[in-house]
Structure 1
Amino acid sequence: MSDLSAPILRFGIVADPQYADIAPNAALNRYYAGSLAKLAEAVSVFNATELDFVMTLGDVIDRDWASFGDILPVYETLRHKRLFLLGNHDFAVAPQHLGEVSARLGMPGRYYDFAIGNWRFAVLDGSDVSVFSTPSGDPRNALATERLGALQDEGAINAHTWNGSLSDAQFAWLSGVLEKAKADGEAVLVFGHYPVFPPNAHNMWDSQRIIDLLTGFACFKGYFCGHNHDGNVGEVDGRPFVTFKGMVDTRHENTFAIVEIFEDRIAIEGFGREDSRILPIRA
């Protein structure tokens, strides 16, 4: 019999440090340089407990290739496995570095998956088809312009240049991950930078097709993301969609989380501005 009081696994969450050695933007309430100290505080909390990994949900930097050299040493003080995914600001670098961002973060690719026990984690690249993440001449640029233009014509609330979408190849890959997890009896949690639900100006351009794909599989148990620094939460067909608050926001208040997965629930312990939540797992 399973012990419902004991977590199956535990991991840390950081969203949107958006570090850069620049002056604050008080109008946006963003304090870019302050993220070094905030991240160090989060690392101290993470290092004081047992975790399977720490995931950063994109926007490690705000801009400039050199910014990685300042913030990544803070991550290196983690005693846990550190994992990353790509946010829009991570591509705010000189064009010659666009193809090097995932490698700079030590990622196995722009999108990937991994498993711990019977839980599989799919890590998305929501900037795959966007107007900023690929060099001039890449065919995805034309596709991104077409997708964004169609949304702008519709007056869609998320028709912004700072959002993105999945390529058809990545969408097919995600479908394959879900199919294999279903066959292998695994539960799936998806990590992305961009929200897909609830409807919001920060959501991916192709949110609906992603929601339809994910909720079509009983093995899909939830979606965690960043990008919308205010945070958000919603539910589709009993599955939670959680947007974590941005670390870069506010002069002094921090925000990060520790997540525990149990047989019947996901518990989020929020620190600073982050909310604590109990999310039932749909059987």
Structure 2
Amino acid sequence: MLSRRSVLAGSAALFTAPGRAEPRPLRFGVIADPQYADAPPNTAMGRYYAESLGKLAAAVEVLNAQDLRFVVTLGDVIDRDFASFDRILPIYRTLRHETRFVLGNHDFEVGAQDLDRVVGRLGMTGPYYDFAVLGLRFVVLDGNDVSLFAPPQGDPRWQLAQDRLARAKAADLPNAKPWNGSFGPAQVAWLERTLTAAQAAGERVVVLNHYPVLPENPHNQWDSGEVVALLARFPNVVAYFNGHNHAGNYGQAHGIHFVNFRGMVDTPDTSAFAVVEILTDRIDIRGYGREPSRSLPLRAV
């Protein structure tokens, strides 16, 4: 198991504005892609599945020592097998903070008989939802909605996924991969309603999803262009956080920061997670282990 000292060793300092008084920020923890399984490592891909138990326990120790409103995992709690939840979820229960989950593609690498149990096993009321903290609206999305793995075969969303992937392959798109997904019409309508209500309430919005949508990357959702265009219509959307691409990434468009957090499962002994602080004029991300630190200015709303 990683020690607290080894986890802290890879972190970089926060960016701060010296001599300026700041309101108390909203602070929360971010974890991406623990991808636990009781399985040998895939060294070709750099996946050390079983080591995620120790990495997560060490991260929990660090996060429990801080004043946070919640900790969110941006998908892929497990790599495969429904029984994997039984090993890793007890570690999450040692967090003293509220715990939030986003669904990832590997969370559905379970038997067909267990597909409809994943949401409940993670304690989620639904695959996508929203919540507010200190005047900020967090919108949690489900990029597995229309995919080849989350809906059962025969579900209309599964057939729609076949069609969307075929069109993406015909267009030779870099994200035409069977392990990506997209939003269904009902979720898109819900997202638009939620963003409209947040704008009317004067709330800034942070979007949380498993899949990246910007910049262009093989890991992006099939409908990434449509998602970015929808978010661009709402100036109160300030950030989009995701996992899935374990190498991490960053992009900026329409005043929105698109931050791809690095995967915890990668490397045998180095972790990756973060603490995010949101202030009136910026977002500060303090990265631990392989996760870089960033300071991202916020536009006025």
TM-score higher than 0.5: yes
CA distance in 2, matches of 1:274, 1:7: 24
- 1:53-111 deviation digits (Å, cap 9, x = unpaired): 00000000000000000000000000000000100000000001101101100011000
Residue 6 of structure 1 deviates from its aligned partner by 3.2
CA distance in 1, matches of 2:209, 2:92: 19
Residue 4 of structure 1 deviates from its aligned partner by 5.5
| The one of 242, 247, 258 aligned to 2:259 | 242
CA distance in 1, matches of 2:222, 2:193: 21
Work out whether residues 233 and 242 of structure 1, in 8 Å CA contact, stay in contact via their aligned partners in 2.
yes
CA distance in 2, matches of 1:228, 1:179: 29
Work out whether residues 222 and 239 of structure 1, in 8 Å CA contact, stay in contact via their aligned partners in 2.
yes
Q: Does 2:48 match 1:31?
A: yes
AA matched with 1:245: R
Indicate the SS of the match to 1:171.
helix
Work out whether residues 104 and 144 of structure 2, in 8 Å CA contact, stay in contact via their aligned partners in 1.
yes
Q: Does 2:243 match 1:226?
A: yes
Indicate the SS of the match to 2:250.
strand
| The one of 58, 74, 78 aligned to 2:75 | 58
Residue 238 of structure 1 deviates from its aligned partner by 2.1
Residue 282 of structure 1 deviates from its aligned partner by 1.2
- 1:127-183 deviation digits (Å, cap 9, x = unpaired): 000011011211111100000000000000000000000001001100011000011
Work out whether residues 235 and 255 of structure 2, in 8 Å CA contact, stay in contact via their aligned partners in 1.
no
Q: After the TM superposition, which residues 32-111 of structure 1 pair with which residues of structure 2 at under 5 Å, given as runs?
A: 32-111=49-128
The answer for the alignment partner of 2:218 in structure 1 is 201
Q: Does 2:36 match 1:19?
A: yes
Work out whether residues 34 and 251 of structure 1, in 8 Å CA contact, stay in contact via their aligned partners in 2.
yes
Q: Does 2:129 match 1:112?
A: yes
| The one of 280, 291, 294 aligned to 1:263 | 280
The answer for the alignment partner of 1:178 in structure 2 is 195
| The one of 120, 124, 130 aligned to 2:147 | 130
The answer for the alignment partner of 2:208 in structure 1 is 191
AA matched with 1:71: I
Residue 232 of structure 1 deviates from its aligned partner by 0.1
Indicate the SS of the match to 1:62.
coil
The answer for the alignment partner of 2:5 in structure 1 is none
Residue 237 of structure 1 deviates from its aligned partner by 1.7
Work out whether residues 282 and 297 of structure 2, in 8 Å CA contact, stay in contact via their aligned partners in 1.
yes
Residue 117 of structure 1 deviates from its aligned partner by 2.1
Residue 215 of structure 1 deviates from its aligned partner by 1.2
CA distance in 1, matches of 2:224, 2:138: 19
Residue-pair matches, total: 281
Higher relative contact order (CA 8 A, sep 6+): 2
Q: Does 2:178 match 1:168?
A: no
| The one of 169, 177, 186 aligned to 1:152 | 169
Runs of 4+ with deviation above 6 angstroms: none
When normalised by structure 2's length, the TM-score is 0.92
When normalised by structure 1's length, the TM-score is 0.98
CA distance in 2, matches of 1:103, 1:170: 19
| The one of 228, 237, 251 aligned to 2:268 | 251
AA matched with 1:251: P
Q: Which runs of 5+ in 1 are unaligned?
A: none
